[in-house]
Every structure is written in structure tokens, then in C-alpha cells.
Amino acid sequence: MTQAIRLAINGASGRMGRALLALIREDRRFELVHAVVSAGSEHDGTPVFGELSTSLRYTHDWSAAPGADVVVDFSGPDGLSAALAHCIEHRIALVTGTTGIDATIEAQLDDAARRIAVLRAANFSLGVAVLTRLLREAAAALPDWDLEIVEAHHGRKEDAPSGTALALGHAAATARGTTLEKDGVYVREGRPGARRSGNIGFAVVRGGDVVGEHTALLLGHGERVELSHRATDRSIFARGALEAAAWLAGQKPGSYSIDDLLQTRHAKAAL
């Protein structure tokens, strides 16, 4: 029998942390060895799975953490910094979806990739990763077609366009040899004039309980191509993070993405 992957979760009481815990109980690939929450959390010191006897308990630090093969982090900048230091010291792979980090932590992650395997993603949906790859190829193959990206999310989402929409835009722009800073268009109202060739436009929809929808429209003369992804269950992001963790645990030091995981799968399928 293959030995279970020893997993630690950072940000274990957050939305993504709870989703990971719900999945890991049924996933025999993993053994949960550590569950970290923020200092002062109401969960600190309580049993992770509710049993009162010998169950694993939430903790706010890494000082007594047992050995692990990989850490999955969905916390915040401070939480990520602490987890990163622990991973570097003990040579543990790190999967992180934490956003809003500053240049200092960015540099720390880049430096850490020389000593440990680090996988970062703004969106852990495997479907979105495939969508990004398809859009990259389509944008390069159809360089003269107009490109618009439409995204929809629930009414409580505060940022716009979504991070995933922007990531799609960056991928398409790079494929066309340009940047969003140069060709991205985020607002159209009044009389903005005719569409400029090469622009990558964004449109935003907010309302209801939409988990997340992204569509890239490539519009030519007399025809168009639509590439879409619709998320109907938030658990897909946790599932993707666990797939990334299972894959990353066996990788050499370096900086990785979800696309690297997909490439490995594609290569194995081609054998």
C-alpha cells in the first residue's frame, strides 16, 4: 500500500480550509497532521473533526508541528509568511492560494522555490486551468480577432474584474505579444468611440449566488469562438488544491503552476 501523504492545512478554519477538511476525511491519499488557524481564533485548541478524545486539534502556530510532506495554505499574508518559513526550514512543499501579498512575500516565495517546491494559483479549478490554456492557443491563432472576457459572480463579491478574468486576460495578452496595461479596457460608457484593434475588453456581472462564470469571446467577421467555464460548486477549488498537493509532494524544488500539473497528466496519458 502506498504511504499516505502527510498534509498540513494553513487557514484551516476559513472557507477554503473547511472545504479541504470536508474532502480530506474521504481522501485516502492524505493523512492530515496539522491544522493551523490564526492566533485568537475561536477554533484554536478545539478538535478538528469534533471528536473529544484523541483527535487532532487546531493550533495557531507551527512550533510543535509534526513532519509533513506538503502544506496547503489559504490564509492571509501573515499566515503565509509563517507557513513559508516553516516549509523552508523543514523542506516541505507548499501549495498556496493566498492573495493580496506584498512585494516582500513575493520575493520570499521566489527565493523559497530554490529550496522547496512551491505551487501558487489564484484559482484552483482544473477546468479554469484548461480554459486558460485553450484561450492562450486561440488568442495566438486568431491574433486579429476581437477579444472580450465576460465574468459573473455572486452579488457579495467586492473586486471586479475577478482575479480569474484578469489571469485569462494576461494569458491572452502574452500570447499576442502585448500586455493588459497597454490593451486592457475595463470601462465603456457614454460615447467611448469605436473599438480599437487589439483591445482586450472586460465585462462584469454581479448578482444572486453565482459561484463563478467566465467566458472568453473571440469575435471575427461572420463567426466567433466562445470558450466558457461555469463553476456550480465551491468545492471544486478545494478539490483542485488537493490534486495540486498530491502532485507537488513528489516534485523537486521550483516554482510551479496548475498548468504544470496538467502538462504532467497530458504527458502520462500520451504514453
What DSSP letter does each residue of 22-48 carry, written as one string? HHHTT-TTEEEEEEE--TT-TTTTSBS
Q: Tell me how crowded residue 260 is: count the other CB atoms within 10 A of its CB.
A: 17
What pLDDT digit, counting tens, does each position of 211-225 carry? 999 999 999 999 999
- Indicate if the alpha-carbon torsion angle 58, 64, 68, 71 is positive or negative: positive
Residue 117: strand, helix, or coil: strand
**Chain position carrying cell 470601462:** 187
* Residues known to be catalytic: 153, 157
Domains located in the chain, CATH noted? 5-120+235-270 (3.40.50.720), 126-231 (3.30.360.10)
Output the pLDDT for position 8. Answer: 98
Q: Tell me how crowded residue 233 is: count the other CB atoms within 10 A of its CB.
A: 10
Output the pLDDT for position 1. Answer: 47
CA distances from 46 to 13, 187, 236, 249 (A): 11, 48, 27, 28
What pLDDT digit, counting tens, does each position of 59-71 carry? 999 998 999 999 9
Output the pLDDT for position 269. Answer: 62
What is the mean pLDDT for each group of 10 consecutive residues in the chain (271 residues)? 90 93 93 95 91 78 94 94 97 92 92 97 90 97 98 91 92 98 95 95 96 96 98 92 95 94 75 59
CA distances from 209 to 134, 206, 228, 232, 258 (A): 27, 9, 18, 10, 26
pTM for this prediction? 0.81
